[in-house]
Every structure is written in structure tokens, then in C-alpha cells.
Amino acid sequence: MTLASVWSLVTKIVDICIVWLLFYFVLKNIKNNAKMVLILKGVLLVIFIEILSKMFNLYTIGLLLEYVVEWGPLAIIVIFQPEIRGMLESIGRTQLLGRHKTLTVSEREKMVNEIMKAIEFLKKNKIGALIVIERDISLQEYIDRATKLYADITSELLGNLFYPNSPLHDGGVIIQGNRITCAGAVFKTSMNPNVSKKLGTRHRAALGVAEESDALSLIVSEETGRISLAYDADLRYNLTLDEFRKTLMEELKPKTELFYGSNGESEDEFNA
């Protein structure tokens, strides 16, 4: 095998990998966006009708579909420009090297314990809260417009941030790694028509973040004290404290976990 043939094979493999990577990101973002799903269904329907028109010689339908195919892409770009822009921004924000910081088991347990103590306090006192934990997709656009904190995660700080009449209680808190990066963040609300109209702005904002990123959103209802989680473009409403903790621990697991001994060195590594 010559060097030229090897190089040709390598370029073909790279070419295929790039195409599949693009397909992966597009399909992943389409799945998390209700309007983009509708676009995809419409395109598939047009293709199906086009095939039928050719099979049965349906001249009029075929002629109309030619106009649809010719002008359809331009119409989609104009009508769904915000959704397409959001999908491209989401792809651009993806951190190819993984999440902001991979937490050790002890760091993750400490973080979850502090969050759970805050959630129990907020739930008991019916104090509304929205806590968003960044994972692989960056939330920098929201952080830039919020009040920067860069503080350690403590239940007392989280409780004070959302306490009624505090300056930042209306916005959301964003956590990166094991630090509170900012407070008072304002998120885009979900436009999903299937979301119950009984849910308020806080729940819709949490779902909106979950639709455009892989973030984990924690919600406490101000009216009922019920606690919920939004992730993977879905809202898990009215969870028990045990369900909440279990899901939080599971979703925060990295792909590879590290255990550290008393000397601070890694003792074991395995796939989560």
C-alpha cells in the first residue's frame, strides 16, 4: 500500500467522521426543540408525498411540491430563524473537552448535600428557587448578563440568595463545577405547547435551559413548595426529596469517576 493510498483512506475516514459528527449535533438539538421537530416532520411529509406523486403520476400535486421544494428551505430559514440560530449557538457552546470541571466523589457528595439542605429549607418555607448546574454545554451567555459571585456552594448562601425581597431572588443561580458562578440569571422560557399552563415562569425557564443545553435545572415552586428537575428537554415535576437526591447524584456522575485516598492520590478509576 502506497503512502498516497494511505493518505486517501485517512482523508475519507476523517470526512465521514466529520459528517457523522455534524449529523449527531443537529439531531441532538432537533430532539430537544419542539419547533425543530415539527420542521423535520414537515420535511419528511413533503418527501413522502413527493414519492407518492411520482409513483401514481399525480401531476398537480407534483407541480405544487416542486414549488415547495424550491422555495421551502428559504421559507424555513425566514420563519424559524430564531430556532435555527439557537441550535447553531448551542453547537458552538458545546465544550468538546467535557464539562467545566469533573468532580471527585467526595466533592460531588458535598455539593449534593449542601444543595439538598438548601432545597429542604426552600421547600419547607415555600421559597421559589431556580438552580441551574452547567454540564458539557456552556451557559456563558447567561453568566455574562448575571451578577458574578464565584463562591463556594453552601446551603446558607443558596437560602439567602432566594430569600424573599433579596436583590437576586427573582433570577436563577448557575453552578459550574463546585462553585456558584453567578446569581440573578435570566433564562429564555420554553415555548413547548405541551407544558401545563399551571406552571409558572420559573418552571418554563428551567425547561427552556434544558431544551437548549444539557444543563440540570432544579426548581422549587413558590406557590406549593414542590420540587422538580428539568433536564434532557423534559420536566420531572413534583419529586420527593429522596427521588430528587437520587436523580441529582445520578445525573452529576461523570463518565469516569476518580477515588482519592487520604494522600490525595488517585486509588482507583472506573467507568461510571
Q: Which domains does the chain have, with CATH numbers?
A: 3-93 (no CATH), 105-259 (3.40.1700.10)
Task: Select from 173, 177, 226 the least CA-distant residue to 198.
Answer: 226
Q: What is the mean predicted confidence (pLDDT) over 199-212? A: 92
Single out the residue of 170, 194, 172, 192 nearest to residue 181, CA to CA: 172
pLDDT at 31: 60
Separation CA 48–CA 261 (nearest Å) = 60
Residue 195 class from Cβ within 10 Å (0-12 exposed, 13-18 middle, 19+ buried)? middle
What distance in Å separates the CA atoms of residue 129 and residue 218, rounded to the nearest whole number? 8
pLDDT-derived band at 36, boundaries 50, 70, 90: low
pLDDT at 132: 97
Q: Is the predicted pLDDT of residue 6 greater than 50, yes or no?
A: yes
Q: Are the C-beta atoms of residues 162 and 127 closer than 8 Å to each other?
A: yes
Cβ proximity of 175 and 131 under 8 Å: yes
- What is the predicted pLDDT for the residue at 29? 62
122 pLDDT higher than 60: yes
Residue 155 has pLDDT above 80, yes or no: yes
pLDDT for the residue numbered 195: 84
- φ, ψ of residue 56 to 5 degrees: the values are -110, 10
User: Which pLDDT belongs to residue 267?
Assistant: 39
Query: Regarding predicted confidence, which is higher, 35 or 124?
Result: 124
Q: Is residue 270 scored above 80 in pLDDT?
A: no
Model confidence at 60: pLDDT above 60? yes
Q: How far apart are CA 240 and CA 71, in angstroms?
A: 51
Mean pLDDT of 230-250: 94
Q: What is the mean pLDDT of the chain?
A: 82
Which of 8-22, 73-87, 229-243, 258-272 has the weakest average pLDDT?
258-272
pLDDT grade, residue 255 (50/70/90)? low
Which of the pair, 120 or 56, is modelled with greater confidence?
Answer: 120
What's the grid cell of residue 78? 425566514
Q: What integer pLDDT is reported at residue 45 of this predicted model?
A: 87
> What pLDDT, on a 0 to 100 scale, did the predictor assign at position 48?
87
pLDDT of residue 159: 94
Reported pTM = 0.64
235 backbone dihedrals φ, ψ, rounded to 5°? -115, 120
pLDDT at 96 over 50: no
